[in-house]
A and B are shown apart, each in its own frame.
Chain A
Amino acid sequence: MSSFARRQLLLGLGAIAGLALIAPLLLANPYSSRLAQLLFLNILLASAWNLVGGFAGQISFGNASLFGVGAYATSMLWLAGFHPFLTMPAAAVLAALYGVAWGWPCLRLRGPYFAIATIGVAEATRIVANHIEAAGGASGLTLPLEQDLGPVLLYALGAVLAVAAVLVSAAVRRSRLGLGLIALREDAQAAAASGVNVARQQVTVFAITAALTGLAGSYYAVFTLYIVPEKVFGFDLSISLVLMVLVGGIGTVMGPVLGAGIYLFLEQFVLASLADIHLAAFGALLIFIILLEPRGAAPRLAQFVRLIRRRVG
């Protein structure tokens, strides 16, 4: 085992242990445990989006299509009698397959073209899902409340998924694949000239993004127990991922995690009382970040931590 892998494993175990330690605090009441679930979900989604959006620089507005596939796979298998845990691998695989199916042609497009194509795919997926009667059509599916996993198990599941997503993200960033993508993002022509197979690398990473996003959809279905195409395939969901990652810091491992937390905080506390301006607030935040802080909050925070260390040390 390489020293990097060992360190990652230790960090991952540490994070899980840490999350287990603060679990009693979060499970104290249903609202805080719901918040923890949403935070884990956001981390999973944002980290997954960042693999292609951040490392490869391909902005996707279509991740909801993958999220929805995961959510529906889990729900339909669960209703068919499988234990929800058993449905999760299937959700990941199906989402990855669907991701590759449309990612493979679309990833040949660059920049804004890719972004627009993803909107088209996701919206088409949503409308088709509205008409699949076997999956409940536009009214979606209700899952058996009697088989609810309960807050403790949901917390543990979410924690493991979120930590795993961050570790995968770190591993991809370190790998040949990740370095190739970043080289590509910086200079497509040079990377192509140096023998990096542009499309194939992106598709590989996109498959990972899709699998993780499908898992997120699966997790969402398991804790909300009600899914509907308008939500799980919705454009708003796709947009929220872009915002999370941009706010946190695009193209870094910890940026999406930070962004997921900031986004949840804004959504649940700041904007619940200022409801009428939530879209505008996100729009203004987006413009602010793009014009003034294109690297997001993570580098600033890292700077701050370094400063403190220097003072203390």
Chain B
Amino acid sequence: MSPDSRSRWFPVLGLALSVGLPACSGGDTDSIRIGAALPLSGKHANVGGFFRDGYQLAVEEANAQGGVEIDGVRRPIELRIYDDKSDASISPSLLERLIAVDGAVALLSGYSTPLVQAQVIVPMRRGIPFMNAGGASKSIFREGNQWVFGALSPVESLASTTLEWLMWEQDQERLPKPLRVAMVWQNTDHGREYRTGVHQVIEGQTDRFELVLDESFEHLSSDHTSLIVKVRSVEADVFLSDAHEPDFLLQHRAYVEQGLGHVAVSYGARGPERSVREGLGEAVSHLVSAQWWTRALPYAQSRHFVERYEAQFGGPVTEYYPAVAYEAARALIAAIGNAGSTDAEAIRDALQNLELDDSLLPGGRLYFPEESRFQIENRCVIVQNQPEGGVRIVFPPDAAEGPAYLGS
């Protein structure tokens, strides 16, 4: 026999090695374990960190109050987090590990629609409650979904709230009718749903809006100049783009370089992030964005979160990520408490019936409607970047801190 053929048994060795290891991981049997696979390294590392902070804060708060009561005994919550390196093929196997090896009774999501889309297969297959705070796309919530709960409103609501704001400004006679709208969107589910949201509003409102550009762009494109030249050529009043941060930075830079101007410019949910102001400075003043949460929301629970978060991690908190993550974890823990059990179906039923009246999300209430496959449908808030930094709520009117600045 050649050395080659002798080595035929090595794979078995490798297999034995890789299977023998996961068995050795225990922990405090007293606590109730929940878990998450987050992008703590790789391309979403910065956002993954916000999620970790938000989740941890909610768990610490719950434990400070003695944990949750299960079968009459109060038990602490233990949060276990793994790093999926922003990789959609590693993420599901880490969730399997959380369930099978670590004994997690429920899971919290990672961040970004593609990663969450890959993750939800696992809880749906295993029948484990999964709380999603990181993917807004409707496509995550499949038909017949029982296990996946969404604490982030659909992407469409970003678009529809933005247009509702424009209509409100028209009613105040601060904007003309019809408005010429140029819209570009990233060629993913996120972008497509944004586009759907815009179309849904515009279709019934032809006297108010005229869509003069409707085009997709490549996510993570290396240069956006040509796209911006196209936007300029249609001479619109309003420029709407649904972009994630990398594309937003390059697109808006090209926008300024090419000397464009609109009465309102919005890049979906982008704008208030601290990194954005550091990178583009004054050029981001007056950008309008739709937010799932913002610091200035006038609810007691929201103020409480801001205080706690900023005391622990420094502030001001400019991103919505930690707030939504905190709220999602809080909702999950509340549901476990309501269920009074660690049984997956009991927790699921409790989530389906959950209703929080002290939510920090816009609207102040949190529940998961069955009609939308258990994804919340709260409206967004519209904020505008201020020249001196920070943002101001401009819509809805009952939360608005002042009128919007509408550019030339």
A/B contact in complex, CB under 8 angstroms: yes
Residue-wise, chain A 264-283 has the 8 Å CB interface mask toward B (1 for contact) of 11011100100110100000
Offer 18 A-B interface pairs, CB within 8 angstroms, sorted by A.
A26-B19, A30-B96, A31-B99, A39-B18, A130-B187, A130-B218, A137-B188, A226-B118, A228-B117, A254-B7, A254-B8, A257-B11, A258-B10, A258-B11, A268-B93, A275-B40, A298-B10, A302-B6
Residue-wise, chain A 207-221 has the 8 Å CB interface mask toward B (1 for contact) of 000000000000000
Residue-wise, chain A 192-211 has the 8 Å CB interface mask toward B (1 for contact) of 00000000000000000000
Are the C-beta atoms of A253 and B4 separated by less than 8 Å?
yes
Chain B residue, CB-CB nearest to A150: B125
Question: A58 interface residue, CB < 8 Å from B?
Answer: no
Q: Chain B nearest CB: distance from A304 CB in Å?
A: 10
Bound Cα distance from A146 to B144, whole angstroms: 10
Question: A75 interface residue, CB < 8 Å from B?
Answer: no
With a CB–CB cut-off of 8 A, which chain B residues contact A313? Answer: none
Residue-wise, chain A 8-33 has the 8 Å CB interface mask toward B (1 for contact) of 00010001001000100110011110
With a CB–CB cut-off of 8 A, which chain A residues contact B94? Answer: 272
With a CB–CB cut-off of 8 A, which chain A residues contact B82? Answer: 272
Are the C-beta atoms of A231 and B101 separated by less than 8 Å?
no
Are the C-beta atoms of B18 and A268 separated by less than 8 Å?
yes
Report, as a range, how many residues of chain A touch the other chain. Answer: 35 or more
With a CB–CB cut-off of 8 A, which chain B residues contact A305? Answer: 6-7
Within 8 A of B (CB), among A233-287: 236, 252-254, 257-258, 260-262, 264-265, 267-269, 272, 275-276, 278
Question: A168 interface residue, CB < 8 Å from B?
Answer: no
Q: Chain B nearest CB: distance from A94 CB in Å?
A: 22
Known A11-B8, A30-B100; further 11 A-B contacts with Cβ < 8 A: A35-B19, A127-B218, A148-B125, A231-B88, A231-B114, A258-B14, A261-B11, A262-B14, A272-B82, A278-B85, A302-B7
Within 8 A of A (CB), among B112-126: 113-114, 117-118, 121-122, 124-126
Chain B residue, CB-CB nearest to A148: B125
Question: A131 interface residue, CB < 8 Å from B?
Answer: yes
Report, as a range, how many residues of chain B touch the other chain. Answer: 35 or more
Question: A116 interface residue, CB < 8 Å from B?
Answer: no
Are the C-beta atoms of A139 and B139 separated by less than 8 Å?
yes
Chain A residue, CB-CB nearest to B94: A272
Are the C-beta atoms of B187 and A264 separated by less than 8 Å?
no
Question: A230 interface residue, CB < 8 Å from B?
Answer: yes
Are the C-beta atoms of A31 and B90 separated by less than 8 Å?
no
Are the C-beta atoms of A306 and B6 separated by less than 8 Å?
yes
Residues of B within 8 A of A (CB): 3-8, 10-19, 21-22, 40-41, 82-83, 85, 87-90, 92-94, 96-97, 99-101, 113-114, 117-118, 121-122, 124-126, 137, 139, 142, 144, 186-190, 192, 218-219
The DSSP consensus for interface residues of chain A is: helix
Q: Chain B nearest CB: distance from A120 CB in Å?
A: 15
With a CB–CB cut-off of 8 A, which chain A residues contact B85? Answer: 275, 278
- Contact status of A299 and B18, CB under 8 A, knowing A30-B99, A34-B96, A267-B90: no
Bound Cα distance from A137 to B83, whole angstroms: 27
Are the C-beta atoms of B19 and A36 separated by less than 8 Å?
yes
With a CB–CB cut-off of 8 A, which chain A residues contact B142? Answer: 142, 145
Are the C-beta atoms of B121 and A25 separated by less than 8 Å?
no
Question: A175 interface residue, CB < 8 Å from B?
Answer: no
Chain A residue, CB-CB nearest to B126: A30
Bound Cα distance from A260 to B117, whole angstroms: 26
Are the C-beta atoms of A138 and B187 separated by less than 8 Å?
yes
Bound Cα distance from A39 to B16, whole angstroms: 11
Are the C-beta atoms of B125 and A145 separated by less than 8 Å?
yes
Bound Cα distance from A145 to B148, whole angstroms: 14
Q: Chain B nearest CB: distance from A32 CB in Å?
A: 5
With a CB–CB cut-off of 8 A, which chain B residues contact A109? Answer: none
Q: Chain A nearest CB: distance from B97 CB in Å?
A: 5
With a CB–CB cut-off of 8 A, which chain B residues contact A32? Answer: 19, 22, 100
Bound Cα distance from A47 to B68, whole angstroms: 51
Q: Chain A nearest CB: distance from B16 CB in Å?
A: 8
Are the C-beta atoms of A260 and B14 separated by less than 8 Å?
yes
With a CB–CB cut-off of 8 A, which chain A residues contact B4? Answer: 252-254, 302
Q: Chain B nearest CB: distance from A293 CB in Å?
A: 15
Are the C-beta atoms of B121 and A43 separated by less than 8 Å?
no
Bound Cα distance from A275 to B90, whole angstroms: 12
Bound Cα distance from A29 to B96, whole angstroms: 9
Chain A residue, CB-CB nearest to B221: A127
Bound Cα distance from A118 to B97, whole angstroms: 35
Interface centre among B4, B22, B82, B101 (most CB of A within 10 A): B4
Q: Chain A nearest CB: distance from B80 CB in Å?
A: 12
